[in-house]
A and B are shown apart, each in its own frame.
Chain A
Amino acid sequence: MSLEFLVASAIAVLTSAGIWLTLRGRTFQVVLGLAMLSYAINVFLFAMGRLVIDKPPIWGKDVTEYADPLPQALVLTAIVIAFGMTALVVVLALRTFLETGTDQVDGLADVTADDDAA
């Protein structure tokens, strides 16, 4: 199996899992989905510099092929931002749950859970 196929299918699986989870109704799943999506994006950005192995990361006059260092810098930035955002969403989701008593994203009361409790 080629490296390209592995990376591409990893991005595909992560993205589809992320989209699926983001569309769920409860905040915890949505948070997980957002995290998955951000992982997928990190790998995607990384791959945008082309996949090369065992090459120097900086261009020089005697170098014909090199690994593009810029996407790695972009990924670093994206990781930091996504990490901060995920932390924020977790806190916000917890706070919303404590304040409204439901973890549904639309904030409406959770009917089935009440039925279970009864």
Chain B
Amino acid sequence: MNALIVAPIVLPAIVAALSVLARGRRQRVGAALSLAGCVGLLAIALALFAQASGGAVSVYTVGDWPAPFGIVLVLDRLSALMLLLNAGLALVVLVHALLTGVDRKGWHFHPLFQFLLTGLNGAFLTGDLFNLFVFFEVLLIASYGLMLHGQGAGRLKAGLQYVVINLVGSTLFLIGVGTLYGVTGTLNMADMGLRIAALPTGDRGLVQVGALLLTVVFALKAALLPLHLWLPRTYGGTSPVVAALFAIMTKVGVYAIIRTTTLIFGAQVTGPLMLPAAIASVVIGFVGVLAARGLREQAAFGVVGSTGTLLVAVALFEPRALAAGLYYLPHTTLTVALLFLVADLIARRRADHGDAITPGPRFASMGPIAVLYLLAGIALAGMPPLSGFIGKLLILKAALAHQAAPWIWAAILGTTLLAVIALARTGSTLFWKGRAGEMRHGAVSRLDLLPAVALVVLLGALTVGAGSVTGFMDAVAGQMFAPRGYIEAVLGQAAVR
């Protein structure tokens, strides 16, 4: 049954290739294919999740080449969790895109969407460092196309910067991988972890250089301060639907940091640098939320802030904090996606204002949308009753024993206040400061609220099921901090001894 592990990579790739063929009048066929692909992906992700949640690490050797020589795909609890989150988010975002007709604004929305899923799933599954680079490139190429989908001058300007900064990131990635290969002579992550531990002290410096370079690249993807500057413009410039899917792309960076740190490098290399950077991104992110002039920009700064909060938990590098961060991870992904979807709902109904935070006349289905915005705001700020509150509480509790606890507490609690102020002000401007007049808009059906409601339901489920979810996250963190099982599964038991 291990061949199922490769399915999350192969299925979207096939769907993407097929949906390229469906163009013009057959566009509906492409949309149906894409939707079916997403549903199938969700089913596969659920099956894999069930397989991995018991704690077994399953390995798929591509081409049946034995482990340190060939490429392996490894499924453990963390990758299963990321696959499930990705598949769920992709389905919701795709339904939103179909309902609002964003996929018909340009060519090849569905192939790009599916290739992005291929790259994301590959990055979550691979156990090979160079293969991780390749999947990063796959997802980046697809994201370039999606980001520019629909075009427009502003989008092109932001897109060029996004592409250039990621190309520089890819270059650094290659330097890091090259250095590590030069020192250890392997690209398999499990094998590299073993060999680094057995390295003579003279070579440690080179390993550190490679490790730090890789961490810089992952931090760039995760938009960690000071490498966050590209994100607000990119996410604020693209269409909100695409930005909602991009919510998971910063989490790829976080995932890669967790994976490489626990499996290969150990916490001492990156820990001391990452915590201050993470705290600073929390602050900058939520100050940006306060200062933003448009809903998309606000949500984009929300990405920076909440990913920063997540990285604070990760940067502590101990099982309890990681478990808290992992609980916060699906929460922040879904929340930010929800904010982008709500921004899209509002912008579609305010033809004259778009997503600018300005008072305007009443618009269609204002009541339900206001409630959705309120819930998204509560979730982002981390107020009860939604899961953000529990997540932040867990992170604060886990940080209590750490020497930087005052900084962490001050940053997270202070930014919660900032977020409450910012979101309350935005909400009252949009929904209460009504202006006389009629809002022009095309025929919009209420149906397009469904995906956003689905995200709220997921957030609610995350809150109601917090007990069992945190239990599972503890298990995930436990597995991450005992990489022996992973290494044994990949290389066989003889290698560890």
**Chain A contacts of B178 at CB under 8 A?**
41, 44-45, 48, 71, 74
Which residue of the partner chain B has the closest CB to A78?
Answer: B174
Asked whether B157 is an interface residue with its Cβ less than 8 Å from the other chain, the reply is yes
Whether, in the assembled complex, B160 has its beta carbon less than 8 Å from a beta carbon of chain A, the answer is: yes
> B253 on the interface (CB 8 Å rule)?
no
Interface code A34-59, partner B: CB below 8 Å = 1, 0 otherwise? 10011001001101111000000000
Interface positions of A (Cβ within 8 A of B): 22, 27, 30, 34, 37-38, 41, 44-45, 47-50, 70-71, 74, 77-78, 81, 84-85, 88-89, 92-93, 95-96, 99-100, 105-107
* Main secondary structure on A side of the interface with B: helix
Question: Given that A45-B178, A48-B178, A100-B153 are contacting pairs, would A85 and B170 also be in contact in the complex, using a CB cutoff of 8 Å?
Answer: yes
Check if B134 sits within 8 Å of A38, measured CB to CB: no
What residues of chain A lie closer than 8 Å to B168, measured between beta carbons? Answer: 22, 34, 37
Q: Does B47 contact A (CB under 8 A)?
A: no
B137 beta carbon closer than 8 Å to chain A: yes
The chain A residue with its CB closest to the CB of B156 is A96
CB distance from A22 to the nearest CB of B (A): 7
Q: Which residues of B contact A (CB under 8 A)?
A: 130, 134, 137, 141, 144, 148, 151, 153, 156-157, 159-161, 163-164, 167-168, 170-171, 174-175, 177-179, 181-182, 187
What are 23 pairs between A and B in contact, CB < 8 Å? A27-B160, A30-B164, A34-B167, A34-B168, A41-B178, A45-B174, A48-B182, A70-B187, A71-B181, A74-B130, A77-B130, A81-B137, A85-B137, A88-B141, A89-B163, A89-B167, A95-B156, A96-B153, A99-B153, A99-B156, A100-B156, A107-B157, A107-B160
B contact residues around A30 at 8 Å (CB): 164
* Chain A to chain B: the 4 pairs with minimum beta-carbon distance, closest first: A107-B157, A48-B182, A96-B156, A48-B178
Tell me which residues across on chain B come within 8 A of A37, comparing CB atoms: 168, 171
Most buried by B among A78, A84, A93, A95: A78
A51 to chain B, nearest CB (A): 11
Contact yes or no, A89 B164, CB < 8 A: yes
A23 CB to nearest chain B CB (Å) = 10
For residue B230, give the distance in angstroms from its CB to the closest CB of chain A. 12
Q: How far is the CA of A38 from the CA of B174 in the complex (A)?
A: 9
Please indicate the chain B residues that have their CB under 8 angstroms from the CB of A92 in the complex.
Answer: 144, 148, 156, 159-160, 163
Task: Identify the closest chain A residue to B162 (Cβ).
Answer: A92
Residues of A near B167 (CB, < 8 A) are: 34, 85, 89
Query: Across the interface, do A41 and B174 meet the contact criterion of CB distance under 8 Å?
Result: yes
- Known pairs A48-B178, A99-B156 / 19 extra A-B pairs, C-beta < 8 Å: A22-B168, A30-B164, A34-B168, A41-B178, A44-B178, A45-B174, A49-B181, A70-B187, A74-B178, A74-B181, A85-B167, A88-B144, A89-B163, A89-B167, A92-B159, A92-B160, A96-B157, A96-B159, A99-B153
Residues of B within 8 A of A105 (CB): 160-161, 164
Which residues of chain B are near A85, meaning CB under 8 Å?
137, 141, 163, 167, 170
In the complex, chain B residues whose CB is within 8 Å of the CB of A47:
182
Shortest A37–chain B CB gap in Å is 5
Q: Which residue of A lies closest to B144 (CB)?
A: A88
A15 CB → nearest B CB, Å: 9
Shortest Cβ distance from B181 into A: residue: A48
A20 vs B142: C-alpha distance when bound (angstroms): 28
Contacts of B160 in A (CB 8 A): 27, 89, 92-93, 96, 105, 107
A42 (CB) vs chain B CBs: closest residue: B174
Do A41 and B175 touch (CB < 8 A)?
Answer: yes
Measured between alpha carbons, how far is A93 from B171 in the docked complex, in Å?
19
Give bound CA distance, A74 to B177, whole Å: 10
Q: Nearest Cβ distance between residue B457 and chain A, in whole angstroms?
A: 38
B134 partner, pick from A77, A88, A95, A100, beta carbons under 8 A? A77
